[in-house]
Structure 1
Amino acid sequence: MSSVPPRSSVPPSRPWDVHRLPSAVGRSFLITGGNAGIGYFVAEQLAGTGALVVLGSRDREKAAAAMASIRSRVPGARLRAIPLDLADLASVRTVADGLGLDRLDAVVHNAGVALDDPPRRTTKDGHELMFGVNHLGHVALTRALAPVLSAAPAARIVTVGSFAARSERLDPDDLQSGRDYRPGRAYGRSKLAQMSFAFELDRRLRAAGSTVLSVVAHPGGALDSLTPPRAGVHVASRGTRLRGLPAGLLLQGKDRGAWPIVRAVLDPYVQGGQLWGPRAFGLRGTPRLEPARAHMTDPAVAGRLWDASCDGAGVELHLGLL
């Protein structure tokens, strides 16, 4: 039986201490892109709970450096790394084989690509790079992990969204920006696709009577210049840090940007279909529940996105598996 309270129970305003996280001994979590940025700090914070934390990374050396950094701050941290290239769908579909776990309590869909300049680039499978990595790769990963997620008593699929998705809209007829490619817009749309798919996933999981939850969280405005250094992972020059100080009035570092994501993984009162973000204007601060915007949860758009995503990822996402 699951120990997670009913969806309608304790209100989301209950106290949550980002510096005193609940124990997660005996549980296991996978973070995609756990070797850098937001993903690194999610891994570091979850490692302090006693859970087994698995870092999915394309680069073995970077994953090793991240684990060394975490162990220097969290003595006795239980860590592993697995190769994961979300731009290669064939390799994603076999990732569960290398995981070596009977069950997985949560996966954090965090890894992503953000391009600043043209030209439009594609993955090995021919998909627009940001849509392919940020979204389709995680769709394929969800299918690959379905058996181990369903084996946990109340697993969570936590999708890391972005503030950038607020101002974008999906074009179901041009999801991969084949027309009028603009990198910033393509990135925002890829994150919106992730979020819209995650909300639709939870609706379908609930309809199927699944105990797996799909939750969305975003880091707000998280800058490298406001992020504390981590040996072998992140080092910002003194000048960069000083130049970033004024931005600290509105934004925050990636360590704090990890807070809503960590809560989405750990808080027993988090419910499926929720959106968690920073408290102050959605940009900085401790995590809070926030309303999802209508364009993120539109069921008609999400239905078309679902079909296109499963087709693009080359999977059939049977919710009976979850």
Structure 2
Amino acid sequence: MARAVNVLVTGGNAGIGYFVAEQLAAAGATVALGSRDAAKAAAARAAILAGTPDATVRHVPLDLADLSSLKSSADAVGLDHLDAVVLNAGIALDTPPRRESVDGHELMFATNHLGHFALTHWLAPLLTGARIITTGSFAARSERLDLDDLQSMDAYDPKRTYGRSKLAQMSFGFELDRRLRAAGSTCRSIVVHPGGALDSLTPSRPGVHSRSAATRLLGLPAGLLLHGKDAGARPAVRAVLDPGVEGGQLLGPRQFGLRGAPRVEQPHTHMTDPRTGAALWEASRELTGVEPVLS
């Protein structure tokens, strides 16, 4: 895009989201950091300004696990339009027990998918002609959605539930593309994934991420197959800025989907299945009480 763009990055205060925000700000974008923690958002903003002093970065309070708060978050964006929103924020729980959001939904599914589904609805007035970029995960390749148990009530396994929540995000992104095309919308829905992004391969940023020399050295062998979160951010950044990127595409790292420069790749059929996407959409509409309708 030739002109400066306005972008909201959910989870822009840490991890891959931080580096998406940093790289977009360095490219001249006005960046809104969606974060539930004001102190962490302030630290992220300071780190971005340290590298790009003239950057325009603001904080938008955002708690994706609380559906009742999302309209207020959309109202707090403080911009007259968004050229893109990067649906990046997420959580990964490592151990049982199963946890629930304030709305009574399984926490990873609620945060990673349902919150973004509802947020897109509330952002709709700002998104005319915008790009909606959904961040999936390599973990989604080996999972399948259980449409009868989206809340992981049966035999809860944190790793599986996380993978399914990321698959739900990707299925949503592809289903959104189909609906935008059918409606003749000027918006585009693009799905990305960061590949294998490790903290040990990620450069330090004061107040945001710290990597010791020992950690860096220990992580070097992994660099043959994986990369850092700064590199993992590049598919999303390209999805925002590259005028050649089209709706319905999947962008990921070039080398085995794990590391390297971003490229367009062929999504697995279980991610793009229209029947699964439509069923997930309907379930998400029922669980959130809203649905994204974009012009």
Paired residues for 1:201-212 under 5 Å = 201-212=176-187
The aligned counterpart of 1:196 is 171
- Structure 1 distance, partners of 2:138, 2:3, is 29
Q: C-alpha displacement at 1:100, in angstroms? A: 1.7
2:269 to 277, 287, 294: 294
Cα separation, 2, equivalents of 1:207 and 1:70: 39
Once the two structures are superposed, the pairs formed by residues 109-148 of structure 1 within 5 Å of their partners are: 109-148=87-126
Does the 8 Å contact 1:85/1:92 carry over to 2? yes
- SS of the equivalent of 2:8 reads strand
Q: Secondary structure at the match of 2:99?
A: coil
- What TM-score, normalized to structure 2? 0.98
Matched, 1:187 2:165: no
CA distance in 1, matches of 2:280, 2:222: 36
Matched positions, count: 295
TM-score (norm 1): 0.90
1:23 positional shift: 5.0
Aligned equivalent of 1:60:
38
Question: Counterparts of 1:171 and 1:37 in 2: how far apart (Å)?
Answer: 29
Compute the displacement of 1:238 (Å): 2.4
Q: 1:34-55: per-residue Cα shift (whole Å, max 9, x none)?
A: 0000000000000012121000
Instruction: Tell me the equivalent position of 1:96.
Output: 74
User: Aligned Cα RMSD in Å?
Assistant: 1.0
> Is 1:283 aligned with 2:258?
yes
93-102 or 260-269, which moves further after superposition?
93-102
Distance 2:276 2:22 in 1: 36
Aligned 1:261-280 pairs, distance under 5 A? 261-280=236-255
What residue number does 2:59 align with?
A: 81
- The separation in 2 between residues aligned to 1:49 and 1:213, in whole angstroms, is 21
**Contact map agreement 2:170 2:191 (CA 8 A) in 1:** yes
Which letter maps to 2:77?
L
Distance, in Å, in 1 between the alignment partners of 2:289 and 2:71 is 9
2:13/2:41 contact within 8 Å kept: yes
Flag structure 1 segments of 5+ consecutive residues without an equivalent: 1-21
Point out where structure 2 has 5 or more consecutive residues left out of the alignment: none
Report the 3-state secondary structure (helix = DSSP H, G, I; strand = E; otherwise coil) of the residue aligned with 1:173: coil
Match of 2:284 in 1: 309
Deviation at 1:239, TM superposition (A): 2.3
